Amino acid sequence: MHEDNITAGSWKQALAIYTRPRVVAMIFLGFAAGLPFLLVFSTLSAWLRDVDIARTTIGFFSWIGITYSIKVFWAPVIDRLPLPLLTRALGKRRAWMLTAQITIALGLAGMALTDPQADLTRLALFALLVAFGSATQDITVDAYRIEAVDKNLQGAMAATYVLGYRLALLAAGAGAFYIAEASSWSGAYLAMAALMGVGIVTTLIIREPQHVPDPRTEALEARLEHAVGLNSRQSLWTRLAAWFSDAVVSPFVEFFQRNGALAVLILLLVGAYKLSDITMGVMANPFYLDLGFSKTDIANVTKVFGFFMTIAGAGLGGVMVIRFGILRPLLAGAILVASTNLLFVWLAVSEPNLVTLAIVISADNLGGGFATSAFIAWLSSLTNTSYTATQYALFSSLMTLPAKFIGGFSGIVVDHAGYASFFLYAGLLGAPAILLVSVLIYRQR
């Protein structure tokens, strides 16, 4: 519909979508999904650096985030396997969601009650438990979001989810810093464990979505079973093989059939797009602390102020996608991420002050928000609704896996070459994404 033809009534109806219970519920589920992420990533890095853990060790801790990058391996299990008693009582999506949220809360409490200077291994194990529960929750929340409403409401569901997620990042970032400054890091992590109650209560209140089978999906699965000779399910082996074919093989076969020769290029771009941004983020908070900024200054500028700049960037990215389609904003986002990360080189060689920090954070968060908006729009366009949970798990896993692995060496780069060289290196890691988007635009033309 052209904007000039939109009536007042249609605007009112569009806004009324955001009052629907399931759309509103996504704010709270988004909050629960976003809360654990920083607590095993940059906030954890700040805690470790604040108690004088070596930067090289902090870099290796970032590998805990690889859990998010391999969730595709157990996404089909969550999609198909019922949990005893819980699935019957709550339904398959809510049962897994509740289990994941309780796991996260217990893991955060365990981290809070661990002294990193006395038992770093124990802290790492609890952080790994949090990351595993968080990745599992991501899978279930994505599946719920897709199945809970019709396709015409998916935009509203995504919008409220992102709002909740960003609020959670604010709580786990700035909120944790404020509590740590006033009390301790243990107190901050205990507070975050309590905040997971938001997700638990929401999961108990919402209703399980209906699960309607897709005839086309069933036909594809039947063809694959026939192709590998699984026409009979009389033995345990054939039943397990058929389950594996339906749950694991079919989503990937469908993706490669639909995209053909472009499939490999698409997957390479998915893996490369966040490479620069995630690698830089590992050392961001230790960098601010080493410059001499207080935890309150870091919270005010990088978390609170940065939050609003990210929202502004995401809004601009959304407008550009509507105006120019997906691929050109996707290219602009890749360029912005790489170039704004290079601004940290300037910050590293300048006399530290809050004005300089605010300028760099403004540019970085605007670029990151813009790129994220375009990237999510592109990933959503790649997904078949019949296999959304598993295929989206593939994309989100691949999106972070290379960056998490490379980010693990960031402490070594800083220790041997300094912060300025590290940020130059992180910015140059954005070059492959720029090249791949350019090739994709050329190929699709």
What are 71-80's pLDDT values in tens digits? 888 888 887 7
Say if CB 25 and CB 18 are below 8 A apart: no
Q: Using one digit for the tens of pLDDT, what is the confidence trace for 136-177?
A: 999 999 888 877 876 556 556 766 787 899 899 889 988 999
Say if CB 31 and CB 158 are below 8 A apart: no
Residues, the chain: 445
Q: Using one digit for the tens of pLDDT, what is the confidence trace for 345-361?
A: 888 888 878 888 888 88
Cα 13–17–18 angle (5° rounding)? 125
User: Looking at residue 198, what is its pLDDT?
Assistant: 97
Question: What average pLDDT does range 250-276 have in this prediction?
Answer: 88
Say if CB 138 and CB 168 are below 8 A apart: no
Taking the alpha carbons of 81, 85, 91, 93 in that order, is the dihedral positive or negative? negative
Tokens describing residue 136: 């599992």
pTM: 0.72
CA pair distance 164, 141, nearest whole angstrom: 12
Query: Does the structure show a pLDDT above 90 at 219?
Result: no
Query: Does the structure show a pLDDT above 60 at 8?
Result: no
Which domains are seen in the chain, by residue range? 16-212 (1.20.1250.20), 261-445 (1.20.1250.20)
Question: What average pLDDT does range 223-240 have in this prediction?
Answer: 74
Q: Using one digit for the tens of pLDDT, what is the confidence trace for 97-112?
A: 999 999 999 999 999 9
User: Looking at residue 289, what is its pLDDT?
Assistant: 84
Question: What average pLDDT does range 258-287 have in this prediction?
Answer: 87
Please list, residue by residue across 183-194, b when 16 or more beta carbons sit within 10 angstroms of its beta carbon and e when fewer do.
Answer: eebbebbbbbbe
User: Looking at residue 149, what is its pLDDT?
Assistant: 73
Range with top average pLDDT, 5-14, 238-247, 414-423: 414-423
Q: Using one digit for the tens of pLDDT, what is the confidence trace for 193-202?
A: 999 999 999 9
User: Looking at residue 50, what is its pLDDT?
Assistant: 86
* Half-sphere exposure for 75 (CA within 13 Å, toward CB): 29
User: Looking at residue 218, what is its pLDDT?
Assistant: 76
User: Looking at residue 150, what is its pLDDT?
Assistant: 67
Of 118-122, 292-296, 361-365, the least confident: 292-296
Q: Using one digit for the tens of pLDDT, what is the confidence trace for 57-69?
A: 888 887 888 888 7
Query: Does the structure show a pLDDT above 70 at 324?
Result: yes
Range with top average pLDDT, 182-191, 216-225, 250-259, 269-278: 182-191
Q: Using one digit for the tens of pLDDT, what is the confidence trace for 379-415?
A: 777 777 677 778 878 887 788 778 778 877 888 888 8
Say if CB 199 and CB 29 are below 8 A apart: yes
At 240, the pLDDT band (50, 70, 90 cuts) reads confident
At 179, the pLDDT band (50, 70, 90 cuts) reads very high
Query: Does the structure show a pLDDT above 80 at 376?
Result: no
User: What DSSP string runs through 173-205?
Assistant: IIIHHHHHHHS-HHHHHHHHHHHTHHHHHHHHH
Torsion of CA 382, 383, 389, 393, to 10 degrees: -10
Question: What average pLDDT does range 250-277 have in this prediction?
Answer: 88
Q: Using one digit for the tens of pLDDT, what is the confidence trace for 422-431?
A: 889 888 999 9
Work out the number of other CB atoms within 10 angstroms of the CB of residue 39: 27
Q: Write the CA distances from 108 to 27, 39, 100, integer angstroms.
A: 21, 8, 12
Q: Across the chain, what does the average pLDDT equal?
A: 83
Of 23-37, 217-231, 274-288, the least confident: 217-231
Work out the number of other CB atoms within 10 angstroms of the CB of residue 195: 19
User: Looking at residue 359, what is its pLDDT?
Assistant: 87
Q: Tell which residue, 89, 96, 198, has the closest CA to residue 139.
A: 96
